[in-house]
Structure 1
Amino acid sequence: MIDVRKKIFDLKRIASKFSLIYVVIGVVGLISLDSLVSAYSINKNLEVQSPFIYGVFFIVFTGIILYLMISHMQNVIKNIDKAYKELKKKEKDRLAPYEFALDHSVDAIHWFTLDGKYIYVNEATCKMDGYSKEEFEELYLEDIDPNFTRETAITCMKDIEKTPNWRLESIHKRKDGSTYPVEVSGHAFTYNGKKYICAFARDMTKRIESRKKITNMNEELQKSVKEKEILLKEIHHRVKNNMEIISSLLNMQANKSDDLKFKEAMKESRSKIHAMALVHEFLYLGENLAYINVNEYIERLIDDITELYEFSNTQIDYDLNIDKLEFSINRCIQVGMLLHELCVNAFKYAFSEEKRNLLCVHMKLVEDEIHMKIRDNGEGLKDLTKLDKADSIGMQLIHSIVDFQLHGTINFKNNNGLECDIIFPQKEVK
């Protein structure tokens, strides 16, 4: 019995089933009524109450059938309505995080049709522009962005549709007529077979204010740096001038004395001072206040030493082979003092007027080390150990600079003259 009921009230083709049942009952009732009337016509012996009782029975039975049908349909409708409400609630619960994220987004979110009409905005858009969501449904892009017209708005939508990661900086107009700068990004998407445009707008007011502040700060910093550069250049210029004054005083003192050793000592002191003053001169004249071009500095230093120590008829050839390097102030002074001592020794002890003299200065960067070679074409030294034992100020200065300032090694050898090889790390050791 239960299986029969399930088959009858199965939702599949239920309308045709109920219609068929109703037709069958109606036909059966009509046949029975017809039989009753025929029997009465033939026999003239039918009880008076029979048609009435049969009619009542037929109506009651039909009513019961209709009740069952309508009751079942009501239950079906209730179930459908309940399922729809549950589905709607589930869908609402599922979309709740997305709606929350959209409405609480800092950026304004707009959905447009391809003709630039608003169909959706989030809460941030309403707060930024002053319109309600219902009012936005009547607006177009050009109503919010005064940079667009009806024609250019449609063109813009087409550009967004064709361009991945489309971006634009523009202006939006609020309901009260005020404007604010925005950065807009747009993307095309398809929903239910129809294309739409989703745009994200971000208020750039604070960013532009910050950008202006940073620009002003940078201008102030650049101005301050420029002033400090000028000040540093002036300091280097004054240091160089003060050293020149000291050199001149030493020269004046030497001219007042008849002692040749004293004059020579003053001359060497002036030369050392000039080697250091030359560093400050390069810093003053150069663009970089931290580093000095080594090539130019060494060439200038050797020219100055030559001018100070060259004999009237001395012929000197120079072999300068120096890599492009930049040294700090301290290292440049250290290398300058080394070159000064070694070159002065060559002028004093290796060069003469009777021959063609040669001075070689090589400086190469090999991996992370600097190899420096200074060689003359003099007679050299028979006993090189004397250089290590020498108590002259010049040799003490050379060893002090190489050992304790450059953290390198030094080696003297005879190679068609006296050759000095110095190796020290490229990176300065502090």
Structure 2
Amino acid sequence: MKRRFSERLIKKYFLNNKYIAIKFSLFYLVIALVATVFINKLFFDPTSDINNGNVISFNFIFLFLFFTVIILFLILNYLQNVISKIDKSYKDLKNHEKDRLIPYEFALNNSFDEIFWFTIDAKIVYINDAACKSLGYKKEELLGKYLEVIDPNFTRESAIQVMFKIKNTPNFILETIQRKKNGDVFPVEVSGHSFNHQGQIYICAFGRDLTQRREINRQIKDINSQLQKSLDEKEILIKEVHHRVKNNMEIISSLLAMQLRRAKDDEIKYILKQSMSRINTMALVHEFLYLGENLAHINLQDYIVRLVQDIKELYISQNTDLTVDLHIDELIFSTNRCIQIGMILHELCVNALKYAFKEDRENLLCIHIKDLEENIHIKIRDNGDGIKDINSLYKSESIGMQLIHSIVEDQLDGTIEFINNNGLECNIIFSKKEENY
């Protein structure tokens, strides 16, 4: 018990830095007193006549030592207080810095991505928890190891080369593989950046496991393949529908042609010819959809060129000289809109061919379709004699004019104007935007 008490006493009072000033002062005093007594006995004779002087000298030395010990104690105590304050400030700063770094350490260790710090020779000096979990290693097993331990694509030389490449390449990205502790490999995407810390260059690399992403991409690719297959099948079916509609319209047109050949009355022949032409105008749209790559929209210019050519072949004799001036902006319209525009052009062109053009002169038909950003402007003009009563065109009861007014005003919600301009000119304006029904 006495031994244990003595050990606790020594640790408390002699090995504790808290009492270092007292310990050094007492130690100094004891040594000084022992030395003084020893010197006094060695150099001073007790039988000497100057014994009183020796006593005075000894008392002076004792007082000097006593005050020296006090001064030494004060100095050591002050220094100890200063050192304690410095030590406390250092610990407070260290604790504060540690508290400040806790969120960053938490973010690094709980990041979904692997995070590594490498030296310029590809030695691992930091690794986060996500990387250890992915690779199956403990941190101490990888710290101090080199890149090629976890990435079989690199050798000692190529690992150093890629570190320099990351250092000299902003936003460096690489797809490679990593090897787990059990030998399994998995694909990763690595992005790297260099930074300078305390005068030394480090490489910070972020690795993301691509296994899940590649599996998702594979599934998306399979889904897209199935969708494309289904889309191709539907495209074939839709084209077949357009082909059949076109064929059915041609059958109807052929039946009308048979009736046309048997008809005797010129008025009936003209009516049948007009009906055939109107059917052909609609059938032509389905033909473009069937032969084209786009099943929803048609290039208006291609459609109008073909439509005008068919109308000329049907209504113009070989003896009639006709020049067609076509200026059509690049416009893509739906099936419904093309049929609407086609029917309007058909009726206006047929009227011009019927009433304005003659065999004994040069005939001109102008068809201009302009894109006015928000609106479409259609102008059709012939070089005939024009018409005296323009207003009669707005009140005409003919099927053709009623069809034109119905389409422009009711379906296109547009305006139509007829004027005499070295012939009859028709201007139609309607919104470019198509309404969805």
What TM-score comes out, normalization by structure 2 length? 0.83
The Cα shift of 1:260 comes to: 3.0
Q: Letter of the aligned partner of 1:407 in structure 2? A: D
Query: Is 1:204 equivalent to 2:213 in the alignment?
Result: no
Tell me which residue corresponds to 1:7.
Answer: none
How has the CA–CA distance of structure 1 residues 229 and 56 changed in structure 2, closer, same or farther, with 3 Å as cutoff?
same
1:221 matched residue in structure 2: 227
Corresponding residue pairs, total = 413
1:354 aligned residue: 360
Give the alignment's Cα RMSD to 1 decimal. Answer: 3.7
Alpha-carbon distance in structure 2 between the residues aligned to 1:44 and 1:344: 158
Q: Does 1:279 align with 2:273?
A: no
Match among 140, 150, 164 for residue 144 of structure 1 = 150
The answer to whether the 8 A contact 2:347-2:404 is kept is yes
The residue identity in structure 2 corresponding to 1:99 is E
Evaluate the alpha carbon distance shift between residue 361 and residue 75 of structure 1 in structure 2; reply closer, same or farther with a 3 A threshold. closer
Conserved in 2, the CA contact under 8 Å of 1:294 and 1:332? Answer: yes
Q: How has the CA–CA distance of structure 1 residues 65 and 305 changed in structure 2, closer, same or farther, with 3 Å as cutoff?
A: closer
Aligned match of 1:10: none
2:131 is equivalent to residue 121 of structure 1: no
Q: Match for 2:355: what amino acid?
A: Y
Counterparts of 2:134 and 2:103 in 1: how far apart (Å)?
A: 22
Question: Residue 420 of structure 1: CA displacement?
Answer: 1.5
In structure 1, list runs of 5 or more residues that go unmatched: 1-14
Q: In the alignment, is residue 231 of structure 1 matched against residue 221 of structure 2?
A: no
Alpha-carbon contact 1:361-1:375 (below 8 Å) kept: yes
The answer to whether 1:407 aligns with 2:410 is no
Q: Could you list the per-position Cα deviations for residues 51-82 of structure 1 after superposition, in whole angstroms to 9, with x for gaps in the alignment? A: 99999989888877777777777666665555
- For residues 18-55 of structure 1, what are the alpha-carbon distances to aligned partners after superposition, in whole Å with 9 as ceiling and x for unaligned? 99xx79x969x969976996685751655999999999
The aligned amino acid for 2:408 is V
CA distance in 2, matches of 1:378, 1:55: 145
For 1:48 and 1:324, how far apart are their aligned partners in 2?
Answer: 129
Counterpart contact for 1:250–1:266, Cα < 8 Å: yes
Report the Cα offset of residue 332 of structure 1.
0.9
Question: Within the alignment, does 1:165 sit opposite 2:155 as a pair?
Answer: no
Equivalent-residue separation in structure 2 for 1:259 and 1:176 (angstroms): 96
User: Shift in Å at residue 321 of structure 1?
Assistant: 2.0
Indicate if the aligned counterparts of 2:32 and 2:65 stay in contact, CA closer than 8 A.
no
Q: Cα–Cα, structure 1 residues 382 and 54, in superposed 2: closer, same or farther, change >3 Å?
A: closer
Residue 263 of structure 1 pairs with residue 269 of structure 2: yes
More moved, 404-413 vs 217-226: 217-226
1:372 equivalenced with 2:378 (yes/no): yes
Q: Residues 290 and 44 (structure 1 numbering): CA distance in 2 closer, same or farther, change over 3 Å?
A: closer
- Paired letter, 1:313: N
1:305 maps onto 2:311 in alignment:
yes
- The answer for unaligned runs of 5 or more in structure 2 is 1-20
Residues 185 and 200 of structure 1 are in contact (CA less than 8 Å); yes or no, is this contact kept in structure 2? yes
Residue 181 of structure 1 is matched in structure 2 by 187
Q: State how far apart, in whole Å, the 2-side matches of 1:414 and 1:44 are.
A: 156
Q: Distance in 2 between matches of 1:59 and 1:375?
A: 131
Q: Partners of 1:292 and 1:66 in 2: how far apart?
A: 106
Given that 2:124 and 2:143 are in contact with CA atoms closer than 8 Å, whether structure 1 keeps it comes out as yes
- C-alpha spacing 1:365/1:60, structure 2 compared with 1 (3 Å): closer
CA contact (8 A) 1:360 1:373 kept: yes
Amino acid at match of 1:158: F
- Deviation, 1:144, is 0.3
Aligned to 2:11: none
Residue 291 of structure 2 is aligned to residue 293 of structure 1: no
CA contact (8 A) 2:387 2:420 kept: yes
